[in-house]
Amino acid sequence: MNASARLGEMSLLVEMGSKVLFASSEHGIWPLVRCVAAHRAQIAGATAFDRVVGRAAARLFAHAQVARVYTPVASQPAVDALSGAGTRLFPERIVPNIMALGLADLCEMERLSQQFDTAESLFQHLLSLLPPLGSNGESAPRQT
């Protein structure tokens, strides 16, 4: 299954059979955090399509017991995190790591995911950082 074609303009799509349970065009980990927070019970056993799957996203998919994840790009740490976790990953391409845009450093969420022993503790931490939704339904910039 071609994840890029299935996603279209979306960055995250979660389906159960032919029913769309969650869809977002917002980039980054926040749509997945929102999806798991609002629909954890409903997405267990679902199929997800995600634009990029790094270690943090992989751990959240496994935590939510999503059955299958299709993606154009996954990191090796994501593959490792899902190995034996009950969630099958179908990447079109595997890269060593997800890097920060324009930088020669790991993506912030790849680094952050390394600091937590359990997916639940990572999820709870991400919930505490969750940006509020703007009027367009996407994350508003965090005020610091």
The domains located in the chain, with CATH, are: 3-127 (3.40.140.30)
* 80-130 residue pLDDT tens: 999 989 999 999 999 999 988 777 788 899 999 999 999 999 999 999 998
| pLDDT, average across residues 1-12 | 89
- Pairing label, strands 12-16, 19-24: antiparallel
pLDDT digits (tens, 9 = 90+) for 9-18: 999 999 999 9
Stated as kind and residue range, the H or E segment containing 34 is helix 30-43
CB-based contact 130:122 (threshold 8 Å): no
Instruction: Indicate if the pLDDT at residue 139 is higher than 80.
Output: no
Res. 52: pLDDT tops 90: yes
What 3-state class would DSSP assign to 84? coil
Handedness of CA 122, 126, 7, 77 (dihedral sign): negative
pTM above 0.85, yes or no: yes
Q: How confident is the model at residue 44 (pLDDT cuts 50, 70, 90)?
A: very high
Q: Helix or strand or coil: residue 119?
A: helix
**Is residue 136 scored above 50 in pLDDT?**
no
Confidence band of 133 (pLDDT split at 50, 70, 90): low
User: Measured at the alpha carbon of residue 33, what is the angle toward residues 77 and 14, in degrees to the nearest 5?
Assistant: 85
Q: Is the pLDDT of residue 68 over 80?
A: yes
